Structure 1
């Protein structure tokens, strides 16, 4: 952008000669991959798989979930055709995210990574506490099913700048990092997919509505 310096007593020609080149740089952006068109053709089979797994109490564990059901093992180790198809779909999305982050510098590069995943089933009073995913570089969540009457239940990403959003008093001056809260919320819907840096802290809010919300979360790690 161009900045014109106002010099005392200067003519329009002089002010034109004293234009200064300046730029605003978006340092340290946090990139999130969002897709509204996930593999919905797999949803019914994934939901059926979830129901079968929930019949065995040994498949349940408690991690970040406050209530709800959390699959205790790596879902991608299951020998099931729908799991293989789902893994292939998620790998394609991870590759797409990585290509976008790099731009066109290495368009033909094929990254090597491994996916680990688990199933979450939440009902109205359930939530997931604030957490991140150590030991991997990307994490993702795919929404297999959301109740049609669901209200709330957002996944909320915590602002990674920590207390910076509360450290400035600027009466009458609007700044993008002041008064914007401490996070960004995304409302889930069936077929939606989010992929994000594994270090980005996040939580899942409670929702009102009938029925189960089923999601599959995963991490991308070194092979």
Structure 2
């Protein structure tokens, strides 16, 4: 006779997807704007790089959301609305409590060309991070499953010291494997800033363009 089984999924990592369904015009304008800034050379380039990447990746300054451009402002508003919504749901905060949370951020864009990649890293001194897809680029010669994917490193890697058939095919919420996401236009991915992640090498003829940000909050009680 079997006893009643209760499974409690503990220590879960929230990774959130928000889709901007009406993004084609915004993304087109953002792409045009970012490529224009890249052409200006060093003026808009991040000069204090610390994450491993190669020359096929252009990274802007980390003050993007303060730039005076209406399309950047539209994206910023979409991102902040999404962040506040997620924070409210995950913490069970009321609208009044959320209004007391004042956001600070760093924000930037990436333009990745054929062969570009971004090494494993996380974002210290931040609460939440996000990646917004302006243009995912194309597939080139590489397999669709790995080309330019945003890969999250499982924090459960230490549990792989022993694996047999009883734990080698666990459901996603219990899995030891990494999570790989192939971004779509208008897709925003939010995740805790401590979570290690990377961008696998991208191969394609088009530019792969994303916006990234970190954010943290002060509470005005």
User: TM class by shorter-chain length?
Assistant: 0.7 to 0.9
Question: Quick one: distance in 1 between partners of 2:117 and 2:22?
Answer: 25
Name the CA shift for 1:83/1:167 in 2 (closer, same or farther; >3 Å): same
The DSSP-based 3-state class of the residue aligned with 1:89 is helix
Higher Rg: 1
Q: Deviations over 1:115-151 (max 9, x none)?
A: 3200101012000000000111000000111224454
Q: TM-score, normalised by structure 1?
A: 0.81
Consecutive unaligned residues of structure 2, counting only runs of 5 or more, are none
The DSSP-based 3-state class of the residue aligned with 1:200 is coil
Question: Quick one: distance in 1 between partners of 2:124 and 2:167?
Answer: 38
Residue equivalent to 2:133: 143
Q: Contact 2:14–2:192 (CA<8 Å) still a contact in 1? A: yes
Residue equivalent to 2:38: 54
Query: What are the within-5 Å matches in structure 2 for residues 34-53 of structure 1?
Result: 34-37=17-20, 40=23, 41-53=25-37
Question: Quick one: distance in 1 between partners of 2:203 and 2:73?
Answer: 33
- Alpha-carbon RMSD across the aligned residues, in angstroms, is 2.5
Residue equivalent to 2:197: 202
Question: Quick one: distance in 2 between partners of 1:155 and 1:83?
Answer: 22
1:127 aligns with 2:117: yes
Q: TM-score, normalised by structure 2?
A: 0.82
The number of equivalent residue pairs is 204
Question: Quick one: distance in 1 between partners of 2:22 and 2:195?
Answer: 25
Q: Which fold has the larger relative contact order, with Cα–Cα distance below 8 Å and residues 6 or more apart in sequence?
A: 2
